[in-house]
Amino acid sequence: MKIIIATIIIIVVGITLLILWKQGVFSSSNSIPPISETRTSANKVTEVPIKTSMLNSEFNQNTAVFLSPIELELFSLVNEYRQKNNVPKLLLDSRLVLSAKKHNDLMTEKNTLSHQLPNELSLTDRYDEVGYDWKFAAENVAFGRNTAKLVMDDWINSPGHNANILSVSARDIGVAYNPIKNYWTQNFGDTFP
């Protein structure tokens, strides 16, 4: 009888640890390994019509986006960090913002940190869906941090996430933050001319 009870306890503890691990409780950065992809030839994609509402040196010429103050702070922190490392600033791209926000909202809804949730398009298919004719695509995701500085510190201290932030292959960025459960997404990219 003692063996059966001990076995049940071990199984319950194991399942609990697995659930907590999947939720990122044991990760100091509450993030998962980043992803990035490159392609050498473009398939033509129908572009989504975009209204231009912001034009200056920090925004892609096709940008019409609405970012929260914390998302703007994340965008600024990325470019400050890139400048400190002698890497060109990124341009905010509305298509990548849309891609990041849709993915971030889905992670929040499903309460799951992932680069691709069940029945969700892959990163590059999400870029295609919003009309971003990518030749480079990369993504960082995280959860649990409630400030842009804290999540940036986590990503900077993770070699793979840091590599995405400092990638010279990236020209554009889209960022998203959902304050309901503190989910974060950075989408990096570059397009064919």
The CA radius of gyration of the chain, in Å to the nearest whole number, is 19
pLDDT in tens, 51-66: 233 333 444 545 456 8
- Sign for the CA dihedral angle at 66, 70, 74, 76 comes to positive
- pLDDT given for residue 154 in this prediction: 96
- pLDDT given for residue 73 in this prediction: 96
- pLDDT given for residue 49 in this prediction: 28
More confident residue, 20 or 145: 145
Over range 25-33, report the average pLDDT.
47
- pLDDT given for residue 51 in this prediction: 29
Tell the residue number behind the tokens 């609990």, with chain if given.
Answer: 16
What distance lies between CA 152 and its chain's CA centroid? Answer: 12
- pLDDT given for residue 118 in this prediction: 78
DSSP 8-state secondary structure symbol assigned to residue 155 = H
What distance lies between CA 113 and its chain's CA centroid? Answer: 10
- pLDDT given for residue 193 in this prediction: 84
More confident residue, 87 or 47: 87
Give CA separation, 98 vs 22, 95, 105, in Å.
Answer: 26, 5, 11
pLDDT in tens, 31-40: 556 666 665 5
- pLDDT given for residue 68 in this prediction: 92
* % residues pLDDT > 70 (the chain): 67
- pLDDT given for residue 35 in this prediction: 61
pLDDT in tens, 124-180: 999 999 999 999 999 999 999 999 999 999 999 999 999 999 999 999 999 999 998
Report the b/e string of 139-174 with b at 16+ CB within 10 A: bbbbbbbeebebbbebbbebeebbebbbbeebbbbb
Q: What is the mean pLDDT of the chain?
A: 78
More confident residue, 188 or 54: 188
Per the CB < 8 A criterion, the answer to whether 152 and 101 are in contact is no
